[in-house]
Structure 1
Amino acid sequence: MMGQFSATPSSSRVMFDEEDNNGLVLCDKYLPVEVLIEIFCHVDCKTLLRCQLVCKRWKMLMNHVWHKKTEWTLGKPFPWNDKMPWTVYYLACTKKPYERNLVKNHSGALYMKYWNLTQNGGHQWRVEKPPAGIPELPQTEPLFKDRQTCFATSYEHCTKVQVIILTDEGIHPHILDTYQPPIEVSEWYGCRWDCPAEYQLRVKLLRHDNTKIDEFLFREVLEGEKLNRWLKIAHVFQNYGPGLRRITFEHRGKDRSFWAGHYGSKMAGACVCVRNP
């Protein structure tokens, strides 16, 4: 009769038993756990999200699958423990946040995009293509292999900052709080052959409410043998404690002769790199 519906379950509900083959029999064929994990590792990340909803057996296997897939994707060992949220692995696989530069537009190829200009004195910030009055950027540095651009400052202080939200980049709070992976910050800096200059780098580790956890501050006067050459400053943050969520990378400079034009310090290759935990 139209409008009526009746259904009889094909079988009674079976309770999950870790000792039986539930979830391991596909198309009437038994697959050992090791084989099933290997198959899952070849599945794309979005499909894996659906796979872990299929049954309890598959859900139990998923952390092992995610861990193995993460190590495949990154090409390096990755931490494992029973309490690790699966989202740690998902973010590592999809965003690949480790061992890469998290600073956007590190040398001015996109002019001032992604940077907040907090001081723009004198003749203001400028991007030089290629750098003027100084040798080319080191070709041994991968960041400069196909790019010869740098930021240049003027005769009054020029300061700009970029904020890196680590969770947005794919680094899970569990990794930051539990493993505290080393964080390396670096930059190349220099000045012209004919004018001394000042350079400063300040990097802060911050909690989500912007309270400071740690800070690295470097200042240098570029004169004498430091003229007309590229120098590199680098620092590694370690054992910084729980709560880290964002990093501010701020650099500034000016010339010491108050000359019109861009005779101040030059900066390129700004880098913040979270090492594999």
Structure 2
Amino acid sequence: MSRNLLKNASGEEQLEFWELTENGGSAWKVEDLPGDCGHDHCNDGVTKYFATSFEPCLKRQVIDLLAEEFSGEDLDAEPTITAEDWYSGRTDCGCTYQLTVCLLDENMEVLQEFKPDPVTLDPECDDCSWKQVTHSFSGYGPGVRFISFEHGGQDTNFWDGWFGVRVTGSSVTVEV
């Protein structure tokens, strides 16, 4: 089994290892599951999540694959790279979720990008339970040296506090 290259994927260490690229409203916060108006996670090992606010909140990690002890030769063989994320909303407030994962070369130029359309969760027509998004990269060519993983969102009611999308259990793996 491949190891998760993201550090602090579920907030056990608060915001350690994450670069806050957008930190609006009341900013990011780490809360215990299930949280107010929330749902339990299907993975019992996940006990915390990151909560967003009423203005855009995005956070990112850039993984240096050579520093993670992958060889250039292994990486140039185009191993399957898989990104996963879990997100949910509150049962009392709508929210939006977004994710962008990029494979980058040694100059931080994008080789391939996964950026699905933002998702809006509305508690009036969605149970706002935890949902998983997964994407596997292949056929991206030689040269990958870094992976950028950025996610977040905000609430749709613009309520003061942490009523936006919740994220946890993120992972990036490389199958060499």
Q: Do both share a fold (TM > 0.5)?
A: yes
Q: Does 1:234 align with 2:143?
A: no
Provide the residue aligned with 1:155 in structure 2: 54
Q: Give the superposition deviation at 1:227.
A: 3.7
Provide the residue aligned with 1:107 in structure 2: 10
Q: 1:191 aligns with which of 74, 89, 94?
A: 89
Q: 1:136 aligns with which of 40, 48, 51?
A: 40
Residue identity in the other structure for 2:126: K
1:127-156 residue CA offsets vs partner (Å, 9 max, x unmatched): 0012322111113xxxx42x4100000000
**Superposition RMSD in Å:** 1.2
Q: 1:200 aligns with which of 94, 98, 119?
A: 98
Provide the residue aligned with 2:80 in structure 1: 182
Q: Which runs of 4+ in 1 moved over 6 A?
A: none
Provide the residue aligned with 2:174 in structure 1: 274
Residue identity in the other structure for 1:121: G
Whose radius of gyration is greater, 1 or 2? 1
Provide the residue aligned with 1:213 in structure 2: 111
Alignment of 1:1-277 (within 5 A): 99-132=2-35, 133-139=37-43, 144-145=44-45, 147-177=46-76, 179-218=77-116, 219-223=118-122, 224-275=124-175, 277=176
Contact 1:194-1:227 at 8 Å conserved across structures? no
Q: CA 1:227–1:260 in 2, change beyond 3 Å: closer, same or farther?
A: farther
Whose helix proportion is higher, 1 or 2?
1
Structure 1 residues without counterparts, runs of 5 or longer: 1-97
Provide the residue aligned with 1:40 in structure 2: none
SS of the aligned residue for 1:106 comes to: coil
Contact 1:190-1:227 at 8 Å conserved across structures? no
How far apart, CA to CA, are the structure 2 residues paired with 1:166 and 1:138?
Answer: 30
Q: 1 or 2 for the larger relative contact order (CA 8 Å, sep ≥6)?
A: 2
Residue identity in the other structure for 1:251: H
Residue identity in the other structure for 1:216: F
Q: Give the superposition deviation at 1:187.
A: 0.5
Aligned residues: 173
